[in-house]
């Protein structure tokens, strides 16, 4: 039998999981607090929506990188995931703001 010294899994400490959990809870609280404050708009862009989507994308990226162990795969995979998250955020912002800006006010 061959002796395999490489591990296919990465073991993450419980402390890191607790830290990520805490950061996700803080992100949720910040999202709720930002929703209560009117950040205004600029040329039809609602800043509350932009901030909420930025926080949501950040939280989703953390979940994918840490809980799905993408961070511990190849560097190319990590870059692909982060670029996908940025692309998805820009797509959501573009579609949301284009819909919002074409609505009748009043």
> Does residue 34 form part of some domain?
no
> Does residue 15 form part of some domain?
no
Domain that holds residue 57: 41-106
Higher pLDDT, 65 or 4: 65
pLDDT at 25: 96
Between CA 24 and CA 19 the distance in angstroms is: 9
pTM value is 0.66
Domain tally, the chain: 1
> Does residue 32 form part of some domain?
no
Stretch 19-40: mean pLDDT:
92
Is residue 22 predicted with pLDDT exceeding 80? Answer: yes
> Does residue 76 form part of some domain?
yes
- Give the three-class secondary structure for 92: helix
> Does residue 51 form part of some domain?
yes
pLDDT at 44: 66
């Amino acid at each position: 039998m061959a002796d395999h010294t490489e591990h296919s899994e990465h073991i993450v400490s419980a402390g890191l999981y607790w830290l990520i959990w805490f950061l996700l809870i803080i992100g949720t609280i910040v999202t709720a607090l930002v929703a209560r404050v009117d950040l205004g708009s600029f040329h039809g862009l609602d800043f509350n929506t932009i901030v909420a989507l930025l926080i949501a994308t950040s939280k989703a990226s953390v979940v994918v990188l840490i809980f799905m162990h993408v961070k511990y795969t190849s560097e190319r995979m990590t870059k692909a995931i982060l670029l996908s998250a940025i692309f998805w955020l820009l797509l959501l912002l573009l579609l949301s703001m284009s819909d919002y800006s074409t609505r009748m006010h009043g």
